[in-house]
């Protein structure tokens, strides 16, 4: 469906949880996020209905994100339900990769097509510093498992400070080349300060061609990552919330004071 700036809104990113097993320095406070009440989080029936309604309104591509989507209980069940929505053409997930060694095959069998996995450095100590708790070996095993399961393409999200020539980014690029993975460089952003950049190797951050809506884990449709606009699905119903979000999608991003990456999913 076209918005008022003639952009075809055909991509929905669904955050299924704001929780995560990592605490990346640019995403989460060290102590994690305050617990949302269980009843505030959308259940699978609600998420499925929103996804189905969205596809009915012209969404062709869905990405499951978080927080860390693979920490949500019974996530395979949700994946398998969404994968079967007629008209959905592209179905992916963004994950930190830790649980892929456990779930990659089940995800693929349930109908997930592809994954983006976050990896900012090849240096184990630095990886642990960035994620505060992470073990790089688990992620590398997860990437292997995703390849073996048939998830394709596998893209690596690499957060950079300023440039893809930074040592860490160069080493991640080398690893990607050797392992048949695509790399996307995401320059570190700050939602509250309104610092955002176009993703290199991807389509994020380019307002003039932005085709996205986002669904937060507590049921708000957000038309722009860099705006506070949101439409509550539980109050408005899925169709109205989606139509309002498309109708009011800002021409370009400014700032977002009410979200962090972990609850809007990047």
Interface positions with ligand SAM (CB under 6 A): 20, 26-27, 65-66, 68, 94-96, 118, 157, 159, 186, 188-189, 261-262, 265-266
Distances (CA, A) of 166 to 121, 140, 159, 163, 179: 10, 21, 11, 6, 20
In the complex, the smallest distance separating the C-beta of residue 127 from ligand SF4, rounded to whole angstroms, is 11
With b meaning 16 or more CB within 10 Å and e meaning fewer, what string describes 160-185? Answer: beeebebebbeebbebbeeeebebbb
Q: Candidates 17-25, 148-156, 198-206, 223-231 — which segment interacts with ligand SF4 by CB under 6 A? A: 17-25
CA distance 185 to 226: 19
In the complex, the smallest distance separating the C-beta of residue 80 from ligand SAM, rounded to whole angstroms, is 20
Answer yes or no whether residue 22 interacts with ligand SF4 by CB under 6 A.
yes
CA distance 71 to 69: 5
Distances (CA, A) of 33 to 67, 77, 143, 243: 10, 25, 27, 30
What part of residues 92-131 is at the interface with ligand SF4 (CB under 6 A)?
96, 118
**171 binding partner (options ligand SAM, ligand SF4, none; Cβ < 5 to 8 Å by kind):** none
Using the rule CB under 6 A, which residue among 13, 15, 16, 23 binds ligand SF4?
23
Nearest to 63 by CA among 91, 43, 97, 89: 91
Residue with Cβ nearer ligand SAM (240 or 260): 260
Answer yes or no whether residue 262 interacts with ligand SF4 by CB under 6 A.
yes
Please give the DSSP secondary-structure letter assigned to residue 261.
Answer: H
In the complex, the smallest distance separating the C-beta of residue 28 from ligand SF4, rounded to whole angstroms, is 4
Answer yes or no whether residue 67 interacts with ligand SF4 by CB under 6 A.
yes
Using the rule CB under 6 A, which residue among 12, 16, 20, 107 binds ligand SF4?
20
**23 binding partner (options ligand SF4, ligand SAM, none; Cβ < 5 to 8 Å by kind):** ligand SF4
Work out the number of other CB atoms within 10 angstroms of the CB of residue 7: 18
Cis before 153 (ω within 30)? yes
Q: Do strands 114-118 and 90-95 pair parallel, antiparallel, or not at all (unpaired)?
A: parallel
CA distance 21 to 5: 39
Residue with Cβ nearer ligand SF4 (53 or 262): 262
Q: Candidates 45-53, 64-72, 206-214, 224-232 — which segment interacts with ligand SF4 by CB under 6 A? A: 64-72
Chain residues binding ligand SF4 by CB under 6 A are: 20, 22-24, 27-28, 66-68, 96, 118, 261-262
């Amino acid at each position: 469906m076209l918005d008022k700036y003639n952009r075809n809104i055909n991509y929905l990113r669904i955050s299924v949880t704001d929780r995560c097993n990592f605490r990346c320095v640019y995403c989460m406070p060290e102590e994690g996020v305050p617990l949302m009440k269980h009843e505030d989080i959308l259940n699978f029936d609600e998420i499925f209905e929103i996804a189905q309604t969205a596809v009915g309104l012209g969404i062709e591509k869905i990405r499951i994100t978080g927080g860390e989507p693979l920490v949500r209980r019974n996530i395979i069940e949700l994946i398998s339900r969404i994968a079967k929505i007629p008209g959905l053409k592209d179905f992916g997930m963004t994950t930190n990769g830790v649980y892929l060694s456990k779930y990659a095959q089940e995800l693929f069998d349930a109908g997930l097509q592809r994954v983006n996995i976050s990896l900012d450095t090849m240096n184990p100590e630095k990886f642990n510093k960035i994620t505060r708790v992470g073990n790089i070996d688990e992620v590398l095993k997860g990437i292997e498992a995703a390849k073996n399961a048939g998830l394709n393409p596998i893209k690596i999200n690499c957060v950079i400070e300023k440039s893809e020539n930074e040592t860490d980014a160069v080493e991640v690029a080398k690893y990607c080349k050797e392992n048949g993975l695509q790399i996307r460089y995401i320059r570190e952003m700050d939602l509250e300060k309104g610092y955002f950049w176009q993703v290199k190797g991807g389509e994020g951050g380019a307002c003039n061609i932005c085709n996205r809506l986002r669904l937060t884990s507590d049921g708000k449709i957000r038309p722009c990552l860099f705006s506070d606009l949101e439409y509550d699905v539980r109050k408005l119903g899925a169709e109205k919330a989606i139509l309002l979000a498309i109708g009011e999608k800002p021409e370009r991003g400014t700032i977002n004071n009410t979200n962090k990456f972990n609850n809007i999913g990047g």
